[in-house]
């Protein structure tokens, strides 16, 4: 457990490392998904191609979109792209950098899926079994079969149990041939992708290093600024809520006191902390009224500046701040509240 | 747990160790990939050679490129190579040292793949089954050349109907596997001897220069890392100041528009600070709107 926590902390400490971690997890998930998936070739002439190519190309597209969805920075990119210019100019190089780095990470899981699919061979075998060269691999001179019939027979190659064309072309020969082609394609694809990644990574320092450092700094800055702003807003909301609720309870307590037509008890000078926290509500009836009022009529989102009671019991809204010799809990009987 | 943490910290502390770690992982991944890969020889005359040699040489190229991509030092080396001279001279010996150490590490995974392939034998059997001398094997000795090529191509496929009962199939297979394993072990021996000699004889030549180049290559690496960390720290402080300044200017604007004197009761001071003068739903909405529509200048 500790081990995972440490690895998690290491990945979290650096935002880019965290994204790399997610990217690696998606690649592993993609390989696992393929092995868990139960491939079932339909073994019918026109359906084979659609099914085989569909399994080869549709899940990578979904994984690519998922890569974008799981990336926290997508909303940051969209926000930065759409915001009005205001007092701060927009730098398209920063937007391009953010988009490129997200797209590169999102490409990894689809590439893993396509490679694993091609190296396994079932998709290509299913999709292209009707195009096997029967003349070179088998015995095409067998008479009496139209094109359509031949295609129907060849379409059953992936389904060994129902294959009935042994005299044209042996099932194992055809499957080996198709699988060999599929694996060759797979390795070529892997080589191509690694070469592209290598070129992208190694040509960058040769051309645009200064611009790259700038874009990277400002894209990190935008991310950090957004997080700090959210933290500041959360702090503010917390204080706002605290003061709002405190004012609500004070209001309730004075309202109840006014309703009972007797002045509130003057708290003794050495009042304990717990008694203070009771906020003037000290019996079941008052608490029920307070709870009902909280549900029926929440206070407006408008905090009053703290009012200061004066000696004669009158405290007005616009009063210059004075020193505060008496503790706040000692309330005056009448005061006006706007 | 402590032991794991110590190992992790040791690897992290030294960039070279991290590179060695990645190199080891890639070598293990290469072995795992080979065992997971379902080798299936096409057993057709011209395709065998292409497939067999392809499987032996194409994945190592991909692994070599992966080794270069995953190595952070390759980027550092390229930057050092391409940078304008400026006030700091460039030392080609340092760049050469970094290049050679990167290449050595990147070569480990491909070499592991090739050796595992040769020791296993399937690739060579597939690629060269059509090239053996048919006269040496009884079942293939008296058949026509075209037929013999066809049969030899099917040797790697044990379950093929023509090969199932063929006595010489196993002989050809064993013969080729023997050659393959001999080649594999020889390559391994040569490489280990070469590594051993390189390590032992290096101190005899230019030890002082080597120490210098190693020091300065480490230095460049560390300097790059510290620069990135400082930039991150700086952008954090910059953002903090920017946001505080934004809230402060908002507070001034609100004070100007609402004509109410600021109140500071002693108890309320702590909360007031956090509230920053914003005490109203409309004020909060205004701040959030301003943040979106008019971000403060940098």
Across the range B211-224, mean pLDDT stands at 87
In a shared domain, residues B154 and B234: no
Tens-place pLDDT, residues B47-92: 999 999 999 999 999 999 999 998 888 888 888 888 877 788 888 8
Chain B residue nearest residue A84, CA to CA: B293
CB atoms within 10 A of CB A237: 12
Go through chain B and tell me how many residues it has. 298
The confidence score (pLDDT) of residue A123 equals 93
Ramachandran sector of residue B121 (left: φ over 0; alpha: ψ -120 to 50; beta: rest): left
> pTM to 2 decimals?
0.78
A176: number of CA atoms within 13 Å, CB side? 24
> What is the C-alpha to C-alpha distance for residues B202 and A120, in angstroms, rounded to an integer?
46
The confidence score (pLDDT) of residue B62 equals 95
Question: Looking at per-residue confidence, does B126 or B133 come out higher?
Answer: B126
Q: How far is CA B254 from CA B6, B273, B277, B278, B287, in A?
A: 55, 15, 8, 8, 10
Structure tokens at A190: 């892997």
Measure in Å the smallest separation between the Cα of A207 and chain B Cα atoms: 9
Chain A residue nearest residue B241, CA to CA: A225
Partner B contacted by A291 (CB < 8 A): no
Structure-token match 């004066």, residue found: A310
> What is the C-alpha to C-alpha distance for residues B148 and B150, in angstroms, rounded to an integer?
5
In a shared domain, residues B197 and B242: no
| Domain limits for position B109 | 1-204
Answer yes or no: do A198 and B4 touch at CB < 8 A. Answer: no
Tell me if A34 sits within 8 A of A113, measured CB to CB.
yes
Tell me if B135 sits within 8 A of B126, measured CB to CB.
no
Partner B contacted by A245 (CB < 8 A): no
As for how many domains chain B has, the answer is 2
The confidence score (pLDDT) of residue B144 equals 82
Residue B129 falls within a domain, yes or no?
yes
Residue B272 falls within a domain, yes or no?
no
In a shared domain, residues B49 and B184: yes
Contacts of residue B63, defined as CB under 8 A and 6 or more positions apart, other chains included, come to B26, B30, B109, B110, B113
Which of chain B's residues have a Cβ under 8 Å away from the Cβ of A201? Answer: 69, 74-75
Q: Using CA atoms in the order A265, A269, A275, A278, what is the torsion angle rounded to 10 degrees?
A: 50
Q: Which long-range contacts (CB under 8 A, 24 or more apart) does A209-214 make?
A: A209/B79, A209/B82, A209/B83, A211/A93, A212/A97, A214/A93
The confidence score (pLDDT) of residue B7 equals 62
The confidence score (pLDDT) of residue B152 equals 86
A229: number of CA atoms within 13 Å, CB side? 20
Measure CB to CB from residue B240 to each of A6, A228, A321 and give the nearest one. A228
Answer yes or no: do A305 and B62 touch at CB < 8 A. Answer: no
Tell me if A212 sits within 8 A of A97, measured CB to CB.
yes
Structure tokens at A57: 């190309």
What is the residue-averaged pLDDT of chain B? 83
Chain B residue nearest residue A195, CA to CA: B65
Opening angle at CA B38, ends B105 and A153, nearest 5: 145
Residue B269 falls within a domain, yes or no?
no
Q: What percent of chain B has pLDDT over 90?
A: 29
Chain B residue nearest residue A166, CA to CA: B161
Partner B contacted by A90 (CB < 8 A): no
> What is the C-alpha to C-alpha distance for residues A174 and A8, in angstroms, rounded to an integer?
48
The confidence score (pLDDT) of residue A330 equals 40
Structure tokens at B129: 């089954």
Q: How far is CA B16 from CA A45, B11, B161, in A?
A: 57, 8, 55
The confidence score (pLDDT) of residue B1 equals 62
Contacts of residue A255, defined as CB under 8 A and 6 or more positions apart, other chains included, come to none
In a shared domain, residues B220 and B192: no
pLDDT tens, N- to C-terminus, chain A (338 residues): 666 666 655 555 566 677 778 888 888 899 899 989 988 999 998 899 999 999 999 999 999 999 888 887 888 888 888 888 777 778 888 888 888 888 988 999 999 999 999 999 999 999 999 888 888 887 766 666 788 888 888 899 899 888 888 888 888 889 999 999 999 999 999 999 999 999 988 887 777 777 888 888 888 888 888 888 888 888 888 988 888 888 888 888 888 778 775 555 555 555 567 767 777 777 888 888 888 888 888 777 787 776 544 444 444 433 333 443 434 444 434 433 44
Partner A contacted by B159 (CB < 8 A): yes
Answer yes or no: do A205 and B82 touch at CB < 8 A. Answer: yes
> What is the C-alpha to C-alpha distance for residues B21 and A245, in angstroms, rounded to an integer?
56
In a shared domain, residues B37 and B117: yes
Question: Looking at per-residue confidence, does B234 or B143 come out higher?
Answer: B234
The confidence score (pLDDT) of residue B51 equals 94
In a shared domain, residues B200 and B56: yes
> What is the C-alpha to C-alpha distance for residues B84 and A219, in angstroms, rounded to an integer?
25
Question: What are the backbone dihedrals phi and psi of residue A329, each rounded to the nearest 5 degrees, phi first?
Answer: -65, -20
In a shared domain, residues B167 and B47: yes
In a shared domain, residues B76 and B119: yes
Structure tokens at A322: 């004075």
Please say which residue of B204, B224, B240 terminates a domain: B204
* Interface with chain B: mutation pick from A176, A192, A308, A338, highest number of B CBs within 10 Å: A176
In a shared domain, residues B158 and B198: yes
> What is the C-alpha to C-alpha distance for residues B66 and B59, in angstroms, rounded to an integer?
10
ipTM of the complex: 0.81
> Residue A302, SS3?
strand
In a shared domain, residues B211 and B291: yes
Looking at the DSSP bridge assignments, the partners of residue B280 are A302
């Amino acid at each position: 457990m500790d081990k995972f926590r440490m690895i998690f902390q290491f990945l979290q400490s650096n935002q880019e490392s965290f994204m790399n971690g997610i990217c690696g997890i998606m690649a592993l998930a993609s390989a696992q998904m393929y092995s868990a998936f139960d491939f079932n070739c339909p073994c019918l002439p026109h359906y084979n191609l659609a099914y085989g190519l569909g399994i080869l190309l549709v899940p990578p597209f979904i994984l690519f979109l998922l890569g974008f969805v799981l990336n926290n920075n997508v909303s940051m990119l969209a926000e930065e792209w759409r915001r009005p210019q205001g007092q701060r100019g927009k730098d398209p190089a920063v937007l391009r950098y953010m988009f490129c780095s997200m797209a590169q990470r999102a490409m990894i899981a689809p590439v893993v899926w396509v490679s694993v699919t091609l190296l396994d061979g079932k998709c290509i075998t299913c999709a292209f079994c009707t195009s096997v060269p029967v003349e070179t691999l088998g015995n095409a001179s067998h008479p009496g079969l139209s094109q359509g019939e031949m295609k129907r027979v060849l379409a059953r190659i992936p389904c060994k149990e129902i294959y009935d064309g042994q005299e044209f072309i042996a099932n194992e020969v055809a499957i080996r041939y198709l699988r060999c082609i599929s694996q060759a394609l797979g390795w070529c694809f892997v080589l191509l992708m690694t070469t592209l990644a290598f070129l992208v990574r190694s040509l960058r320092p040769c051309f645009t290093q200064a611009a790259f450092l700038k874009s990277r700094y400002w894209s990190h800055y935008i991310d950090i600024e957004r997080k700090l702003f959210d933290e500041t807003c959360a702090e503010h909301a917390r204080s706002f809520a605290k003061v709002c609720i405190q004012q609500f309870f004070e209001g309730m307590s004075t309202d109840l006191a006014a309703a009972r037509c007797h002045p509130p008890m003057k708290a003794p000078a050495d009042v304990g902390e717990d008694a203070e926290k009771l906020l003037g509500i000290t019996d079941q009836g008052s608490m029920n009224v307070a709870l009902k009022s909280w549900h029926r009529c929440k206070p407006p989102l408008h905090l009053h500046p703290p009012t200061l009671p004066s000696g004669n019991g009158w405290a007005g809204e616009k009063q210059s701040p004075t020193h505060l010799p008496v503790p706040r809990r000692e309330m005056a009987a009448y005061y006006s509240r706007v | 747990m402590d032991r794991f943490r110590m190992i992790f910290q040791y690897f992290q502390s030294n960039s070279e160790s991290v590179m060695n770690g990645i190199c080891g992982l890639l070598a293990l991944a290469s072995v795992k990939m080979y065992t997971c890969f379902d080798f299936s020889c096409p057993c057709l005359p011209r395709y065998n050679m292409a497939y067999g040699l392809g499987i032996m040489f194409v994945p190592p190229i991909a692994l070599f490129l992966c080794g270069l991509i995953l190595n952070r030092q390759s980027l550092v080396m390229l930057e050092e190579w391409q940078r304008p001279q400026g006030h700091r001279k460039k030392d080609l010996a340092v760049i050469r040292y970094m290049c050679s150490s990167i290449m050595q590490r990147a070569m480990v995974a491909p070499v592991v793949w090739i050796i595992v392939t040769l020791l296993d034998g399937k690739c060579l059997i597939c690629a060269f089954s059509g090239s053996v001398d048919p006269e040496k094997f009884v079942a293939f000795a008296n058949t026509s050349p075209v037929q013999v090529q066809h049969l030899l191509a099917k040797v790697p496929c044990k379950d093929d109907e023509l090969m199932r009962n063929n006595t010489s199939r196993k002989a050809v297979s064993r013969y080729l596997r023997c050659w393959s394993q001999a080649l594999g072990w020889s390559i391994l021996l040569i490489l280990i001897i070469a590594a051993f000699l390189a390590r032992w004889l290096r101190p005899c030549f230019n030890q002082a220069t080597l120490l210098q180049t190693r020091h300065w290559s480490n230095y460049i690496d560390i300097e790059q890392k510290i620069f990135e960390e400082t930039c991150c720290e700086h952008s954090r402080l910059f953002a903090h100041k920017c946001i505080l300044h934004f809230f402060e200017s908002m507070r001034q604007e609100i004070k100007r528009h609402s004509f109410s004197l600021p109140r500071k009761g002693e108890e309320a001071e702590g909360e007031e600070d956090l509230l920053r003068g914003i005490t109203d739903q409309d004020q909060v909405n205004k701040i959030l709107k301003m943040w979106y529509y008019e971000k403060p200048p940098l």
